[in-house]
Each structure stands twice: as C-alpha cells, then as structure tokens.
Chain A
Amino acid sequence: MKKLMKGNEALGEGAIKAGCAAYFGYPITPQNELTEYMSKRMLEEKRVFLQSESELAAINMVLGASAAGVKAMTSSSSPGISLKQEGLSYMAGCELPALIVNVQRGGPGLGNIAGSQADYFQATKGGGHGDYHLIVLAPSSVQEMFEMPAQAFALAEKYRNPVMILADGVVGQILEPMEEVKVDSTYHGDRSWVLDGCQGRAPRKIRSLLMEEGALEEHNIKLQKKYKVIKEQEQRCQKQNTEKADIILVAYGTSARVCYSAMLAARKKGLSVGLLRPLTLWPFPVKAIAELTGTAKAFLTVEMSAGQMVEDVKLAVNGRKPVHFYGRAGGGMPTEEEILKEIEKI
C-alpha cells in the first residue's frame, strides 16, 4: 500500500528499516524534519537518538559509534556538512562505515534554505583533507529517499567507508506517494576490526595517525586500491531513452526530475533526447556515459549549481562529443522551459 510521505521523513524511516541503531544530529533547514522524525521514531524503536551540541560533536559521535560496530548516521545541510569535514576525513582514514546525509541548500556561506546542488565537489572530491573518497548516492524521489539508506549502509559496511546521501532541499521537502518496500537490514562485511571489548583477545586499534616510516603511504596505497575496486564495481545510473538519442541530458536529484519533464516535452516536439541520471555520484558512472559517446551527438549537463558535475561528464566523454552545461546557482532552480531552450540551441 502506498503512503504519502515527506522526503526527509522517508529517509529517516528508510534508515530505521535498514537497521540504523544510532542517530546523531544538530538541526538545520531544510533537513529538520529528518532530525525531528528520528527524535520520535528512534525512541519508539528503543534505539539511540542524540541531538548534539554541534555538528562537530555529531560527526565524532558517529565516528565513535561506528568504531564500536554500530550502524550509525548523521544528517545536516550544506553549512553543517562543511563543519563535519574533519570528522569525515578521519573516518575515511580509519575506514569506518557510516551514513551521512546532506540535504543541500544554497551557498556559499550560510547562503539560503532553498534546494541546491552546489556541494557536489565537496561530496565527491574529498571535502576534508587527504586523499580519500566518500561513496555518494543521489536520490531524486521520496521512494529513493526511503530506499537509499539501506543501500548506503550496505556499501559502507562492504567497503568500510563512509557513504553520503547527497539530497537537496526540494527532494527533502516534497511529499509523494511511496511504497514501504522491504529493505536490507543485515550487517555486511566482516567485523574483525570492531572495538567491542578485548577481554580474551588481543586489543585492536583504529586510528588515522600513522607516524611510522612509510606507514601512511602504505595505508594510502591500500585505500586507493579499495577506491579502484569501488570505481570498477559500483557505478550506478538510470537511463531513459538514451539508446540512439542525439542529445543526452545528464542530471541527478531534483535537476533530473526537471530534465525528465524537459525530455518528454522535447520528444513531443520530435527531438531525439534521452536522460542519464547518476545514482552514484562517486563512483561516477563513467562507463555508461563513455558508452553513449558512440551514438550521442552531444551532452547537456543540468545542475542546481554553477557547474560542478559537468567536469566529471567532460572527463567521461573525454572530448569525443561536445558537453554543454546549464545551471542555476544560489538556490535557483532550472525550469523545464529553460532546459528545452538549451536543448533547442544545440
């Protein structure tokens, strides 16, 4: 049976159904309904909910819970996510699984509270210091807000890596019918590293400070090997009408929804347009895009930013076809009509 749910709340319920045992967060619009929802539901489920004194505290609580082998998450919006970057770098260094949700709003700075996609670079290219990657998932509907936490935890545990769900204010705030499908709540991957008390066994250590000669370089080589495997195996995207289409729209999240409308309008006008929607932003679906460079004549990337993901599209297309860009920054949102105009210009 379908249920009318708000994106933020669907994400909360999805995380609970995925077995999330501890939530730590600090309020910020436009993700407040998620924190509020967890404050009620986590207690009902007799799990941990904690409103921390700051974003820094929340991410470090997640770090601690994860090190103890607990499925843990935090959520925030852009300025709050910036504050969490130190913790994220430490967690990536320590190889700790966890779910981090960013319901993006306009920036830079405190910006505004409108939906935005301007944190793409921060999410996919590191964000904090050091050579590391988060795995990044991009939901575009309330249904996916519900289903992605389970996918995120599974990936996080399989690869021992923090995973970010990169949503935006629009998908967080809309209400849509959704199906409460069964999601995976098992713990994936081995737990031989978990700090759960060393009585009767040798103590374990989790740390990101590696001062011994060559130890940090060796650790980085290991991390890069892992990232290579993730890049090879976990690229995900959704393709609609891309086969033999002349123009391929590339967009994620809310932009992809507007592109979907624009694609239908363009096809009604007889234009050959398809849509490729990355579901993973890191690893970026390079293979799927590269494959389309054979048949497509041009690509048009649409973002609620001044142009960030378009760089990855260009790398994937690798000069074989022109890559165009249309975006609105600062909380602006591209309209169907604007995208249609851009398509007609090509």
Chain B
Amino acid sequence: MREELIVAGFGGQGVMFTGTLLAQAAMLEGKFVTFFPAYGAEVRGGTANASVIISDEEIGSPLVSAPDTLIILNQPSLDRFHRKLKKEGQLVVNSTLVQPEALKNIVQGVSQVPASEIAEQLGNIRVANMVALGTYLKIKPVVKLSSVNEALATLLTGKKAGLQEINKKAIKAGYEFSK
C-alpha cells in the first residue's frame, strides 16, 4: 500500500491539521508516513497545502508531484492542483466553496461533499476539513476511523481537548455522507 496525498485550502481551514492528523493515525497503525507542509508565505486567508505519504515501505522523497488523492477545500486550491492528480486519482472536494462548472473537465473520480455546510450544521464551520477527511476515508480507507479518533486524542490536548468531540462528529458526518 502506498498513498500520496495533497490537502489544500485557505490558511485557517485546517489544512496542516488534517495532514498531521492523518500522519499521526498512520503512525499509530505502524505505517511509514511523511508529512511535508508548504511553509511559504502562507497566512490566514492565503492558500495552504501539505503533502502526506503513507506506505508499508520506507519512504524516500517526501514530496508529492503526482498525488493519488487531492483533498480540496476551496476553489483556488482546485485550480492550482487538479492537473497534478494521477489519471486514476481521486478528488475529494468541498463543494460548498467550489463552483460546479470548475469540475466539469476533470476526468478522475470526483467526490463532492458540502463540507463547510455540514460543518456549519454541526455548529462549527472550522471542522469542514474533518468532514472532507471523513468522506476521503470512506472512499479510501488508508487508515481506520478508530486510529484517527485515537490520533485526535493525541493531538488535541490541554485547552484543545474539548474540541475532540466536534472533530469526531465531523469526520463521522463526512464518512456517512459518502454512501
């Protein structure tokens, strides 16, 4: 098993957290994993992206040039990354923030989830990233949901411990959305 993934969105949408969470879950399952954040002039409101590689074997280069999966949280990220996706790749897109016509020329598998909308209904728009992650994990179970929940408990501690529940709910909602 080898999965190469890029997560991209606005700064503040939790792109880095999504990637880190996935990496943490993969590590808990004993897999090899690398997380490489784009660390340019990314600021809240600008674009942010991160590359994650999960593998059963040792990972050389941590860079992802042709991802198996793209998790796209906003329109500018789709424009920037969709051409890099592998032919047989999978696109998970936050359809609340992406125009439907932008997807019409994409030949790869597209899974649209209104992540921001679902997150808002759950009471916290900031967990849209987790909704998209849930949808992704339904389509491609690269790690178990239980590992992701365990990873949440590791990453959200102290003052942030109270956020574990809403994140879990969001992941579940995204997972169940993708039937």
Which chain A residues have a beta carbon within 8 Å of chain B's beta carbons? 2, 4, 29-30, 113, 169-170, 173-177, 254, 257-262, 264, 333, 335-337
Contacts and interface: CB of A to CB of B under 8 A. Distances in A.
Contacts of A30: 39
Contact of A175 (B32, B34, B61, B65): B34
A29 B39 contact: yes
A173 B39 contact: yes
A335 B37 contact: no
A24 B40 CA distance: 25
Q: Looking at A175, A258, A259, which has the most chain B CB atoms within 10 Å of its CB? A: A175
A257 B33 contact: no
A170 B23 contact: no
B123 interface: no
A56 to B, nearest CB: 26
A2 B26 CA distance: 12
Interface footprint category on B: 10 to 19
A257 B61 contact: yes
Given A174-B34, A176-B33, A336 B60 contact: yes
Interface string B102-142: 00000000000000000000000000000000000000000
B18 interface: no
Interface string B23-45: 11001000011111101100000
Given A4-B24, A113-B40, A175-B23, A258 B34 contact: no
A133 to B, nearest CB: 30
A259 B27 contact: no
7 contacts: A170-B63, A173-B39, A174-B34, A174-B36, A175-B20, A260-B58, A336-B60
Interface of B: 20, 23-24, 27, 32-37, 39-40, 58-63, 65
B110 to A, nearest CB: 26
Q: DSSP majority for the A interface? A: helix
B36 A170 contact: yes
B27 A335 contact: no
Contact of B60 (A169, A174, A259, A337): A259
B20 A4 contact: yes
A254 B35 CA distance: 14
Contacts of B36: 170, 173-175
A261 B61 contact: yes
Contacts of B27: 2, 4, 177
B33 to A, nearest CB: 6
A173 B34 contact: no
Nearest to A263: B60
B63 A260 contact: no
A113 B38 CA distance: 10
